[in-house]
């Protein structure tokens, strides 16, 4: 129900922005590609919300640092990308740190029963797999079909709304959810705030990726994770061990090194535009020969430049 509410608000926002920007409502990519993202996005969102019942919020936030591995694997499968030893080393450092954090301290939420944290961790794994596919396929749509962020938001959220509504109807919880919302006005207000926050997050993520690149997004998400985890530990008093602290340091050290390395050693994308600058050279020569006498050039010099075949003719 929460996922469905989020998607409805996102659709309304996307429609409004498309009208303001004067963009076309026609889908830029095949509909099945939007639907593929929608299915994976709904599954990822469901697993993310459901996992909070069984694991603490800091564990979920830190678990999202696992996203590097699934994204790299999906990028190899979907886009045929290749990664060097440094990239795999950074991903391994993050994975090691997350694993150490999860195995050396308390991971289940206070309201969950014993053993339920294992189920929560399985939900997190499903979230990572689906979320990795979502972001990789979204990047593919941006590059191959030149979709705008609002066009992609509209069709992906429309598909997600259909999927989440279908799941809600199939579960038979529609009336129960509506009754609960009607009986608890605070829930309606909180759901609206959550939906607004989710749409704002979508806007900034799309904007960062499309306008500033994935590196700016990675740096922003790293900072967000650090602040969120530390804030949760301070506010809710989650216990933390020395080994968990070491794992936490290892995770964010690897993530921030990746950001630093990206700034100091950017990938060579610029040389691709250089060969286009060589093409105008033959055009200048052709113009000098085909046109008449240029200012400051003697007729004798022009006669020398003319091909011999033209004299024979």
pLDDT at residue 269 above 60? Answer: no
- Helices marked H in 146-279 — which ranges? 149-171, 174-183, 185-207, 214-236, 242-264
Q: Tell me, what's the pLDDT at 69?
A: 76
Which of the two residues, 16 and 90, has the higher pLDDT score?
16
Q: Tell me, what's the pLDDT at 74?
A: 80
Q: Tell me, what's the pLDDT at 311?
A: 47
Q: Tell me, what's the pLDDT at 231?
A: 76
Q: Tell me, what's the pLDDT at 9?
A: 92
What is the helix (H) or strand (E) element at residue 312, kind and residue range? helix 308-312
Residue 17 — very low, low, confident or very high, per pLDDT cuts 50/70/90? Answer: very high
Q: What percent of the chain has pLDDT over 70?
A: 75
On average, the pLDDT of the chain sits at 76
Which of the two residues, 154 and 258, has the higher pLDDT score?
154
In whole angstroms, how far apart are CA 313 and each of 301, 302, 307, 308, 310?
20, 17, 11, 9, 5
Cα radius of gyration (the chain): 27
Convert the pLDDT of each residue in 38-61 to its tens digit: 888 888 888 888 888 888 777 777
Q: Tell me, what's the pLDDT at 154?
A: 93
In whole angstroms, how far apart are CA 12 and each of 127, 142, 159, 166, 193?
26, 21, 14, 19, 15
């Amino acid at each position: 129900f929460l996922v469905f509410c989020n998607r409805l608000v996102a659709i309304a926002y996307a429609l409004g922005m498309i009208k303001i920007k004067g963009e076309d409502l026609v889908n830029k990519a095949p509909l099945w590609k939007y639907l593929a993202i929608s299915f994976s996005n709904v599954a990822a969102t469901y697993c993310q919300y459901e996992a909070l019942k069984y694991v603490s919020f800091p564990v979920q936030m830190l678990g999202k640092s696992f996203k590097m591995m699934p994204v790299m694997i999906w990028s190899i499968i979907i886009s045929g990308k290749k990664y060097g030893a440094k990239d795999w080393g950074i991903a391994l450092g993050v994975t090691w740190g997350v694993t150490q954090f999860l195995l050396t301290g308390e991971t289940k939420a206070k309201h969950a029963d014993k053993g339920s944290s294992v189920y929560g961790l399985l939900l997190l794994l499903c979230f990572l797999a689906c979320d990795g596919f979502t972001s990789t396929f979204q990047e593919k749509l941006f590059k191959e079909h030149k979709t705008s962020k609002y066009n992609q938001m509209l069709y992906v959220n429309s598909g997600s709304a259909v999927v989440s509504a279908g799941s809600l109807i199939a579960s038979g919880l529609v009336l129960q959810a509506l009754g609960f919302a009607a009986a608890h006005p605070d829930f309606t207000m909180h759901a609206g705030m959550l939906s607004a926050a989710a749409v704002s997050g979508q806007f900034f993520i799309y904007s960062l990726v499309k306008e500033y690149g994935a590196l700016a997004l990675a740096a922003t998400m790293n900072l967000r994770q650090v602040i969120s985890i530390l804030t949760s530990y301070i506010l809710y008093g989650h216990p933390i061990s020395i080994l968990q602290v070491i794992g936490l340091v290892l995770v964010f050290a690897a993530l921030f090194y990746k950001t630093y390395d990206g700034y100091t050693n950017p990938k060579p994308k610029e040389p691709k535009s250089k060969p286009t600058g060589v093409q105008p050279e033959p055009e200048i020569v052709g113009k000098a020969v085909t046109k008449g006498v240029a200012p400051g050039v003697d007729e004798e010099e022009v006669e020398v430049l003319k091909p011999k075949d033209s004299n024979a003719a």
